[in-house]
Amino acid sequence: MNRRQALKSSATALVSLGALPGLSALLKSCGVERLTDYQPVYLSTDQFDTIWQLANLILPQTDTPGASEAGVAPYIDLLFESFFKDDEKQRLESGLNAFMRDCEDQENKPFVKINTQQQMKHLEEIQSTEFFSSFKQLVLWAFFTSEVGTKSMNYRPVPGQHQGCITIDENEKNLVGNR
């Protein structure tokens, strides 16, 4: 039932992100191939598409939803627009730009245009950088506090009872509520 619910809400999430069919056709007609039709509010489409792909690599869809189903990248765009303080914004953005530049220098193609295997290699390389660590934290938070992410765990906002000590097996998910 969790999976059904998650799929249903991820569909809703996509609709709410403004994925308009007409817009998609327009983008293609200009010769720009994008992975998503979402029009970012703060970030440039290049920056946004990179974030979109990075988030999907960090938290891909498995038998539970991943970053794109949970709307992680559009949410990060919103955080840039209205949540981050200036210094935070500058730090993240310059980290992102440096990553995009380095990638393009090495591959002669933007990050989003190289194949997944190459993308993974670049990700492995930046694992210990400050940019990747803060960006990953951002992706985790944006995913696991989203409706899709939360409901793919054991979301029980009103348990109605408490037991201090129960036995679980390895399939048990995190118990989460509204705290």
Partner 1 sequence: MKLQTQYFDAIVIGSGMSGGWAAKELCEKGLKTLVLERGRQVEHIKDYPTTNKAPWEYEFRKRISKQTEEEYPIQKLKYCFDESTKHFFASDRKHPYTTDEDRPVRLYRSFNAGGKSLIWARQSYRLSDIDFESNHKDGHGVDWPLRYKDIAPWYDYVEKYIGVSGKNEGLMQLPDGHFLPPMELNCVEKHFKGAMNEKLGRIVTIGRTAHLTVAHNGRGPCQYRNVCETGCPYGAYFSSVSVTLPAAQVTGNMTFKPHAIVHSIIYDEKVRKATGVRVIDAQTKETTEYFGKVVFLCASALSSTRIMLNSKSPGFPNGIANSSGVLGHYLMDHCGYGFSAEVEGFKDGYYNGHRPTGFYVPRFQNVDQPSPDFVRGFGFQGRAYRQNWSRGNNQQGFGGEFKDALMKPGPWGISMGSFGEVLPYYENFAQLNEEVKDEWGMPVLHISGALGENEKVMIKKMAEAAVEMFEAAGFKNIQIGDPDSYVLGHKSHEMGTARMGRDPKTSVLNKWNQCHDVPNLFVTDGSFMTSSACQNPSLSYMAFTARAADYAVGQLAQGRL
Question: Is 141 an interacting residue with respect to partner 1 (CB under 8 A)?
Answer: yes
Question: Is 116 an interacting residue with respect to partner 1 (CB under 8 A)?
Answer: no
CB of 69 to partner 1, least distance (A): 12
Binding residues among 28-57 for partner 1 as defined by CB under 8 A: 57
**What are the residues facing 154 on neighbouring strands?**
175
By CB under 8 A, name the one of 8, 23, 101, 172 that touches partner 1: 172
CB of 176 to partner 1, least distance (A): 7
By CB under 8 A, name the one of 62, 108, 115, 117 that touches partner 1: 62
CB of 114 to partner 1, least distance (A): 17
Question: Is 1 an interacting residue with respect to partner 1 (CB under 8 A)?
Answer: no
Residue with smaller CB distance to partner 1, 3 or 28:
3
Residues near 159 by beta carbon (within 8 Å), at least 6 away in sequence: 177
The Cα 35–Cα 33 span in angstroms is 7
How far is C-alpha 65 from the chain's CA centre? 11
By CB under 8 A, name the one of 85, 87, 108, 117 that touches partner 1: 85
Residue with smaller CB distance to partner 1, 100 or 148:
148
> Residue 11 has which token pair?
């569909």
Q: Which residues of 33-67 are buried (b: 16+ CB within 10 A; e: fewer)?
A: ebebbbbbebbebbbbbbbbbbbbbbbeeeebbbb
Question: 3-state DSSP call for residue 176?
Answer: strand
CB of 34 to partner 1, least distance (A): 22
Q: Give the Å distances, CA to CA, from 27 to 24, 30, 34, 87, 159.
A: 5, 5, 8, 33, 47
Question: 3-state DSSP call for residue 155?
Answer: strand
Residue with smaller CB distance to partner 1, 105 or 124:
124
What residue ranges bind partner 1 (CB under 8 A)? 57-60, 62, 64, 66, 78-79, 82-83, 85, 123, 127, 136-137, 140-141, 144-147, 150, 152-153, 156-179
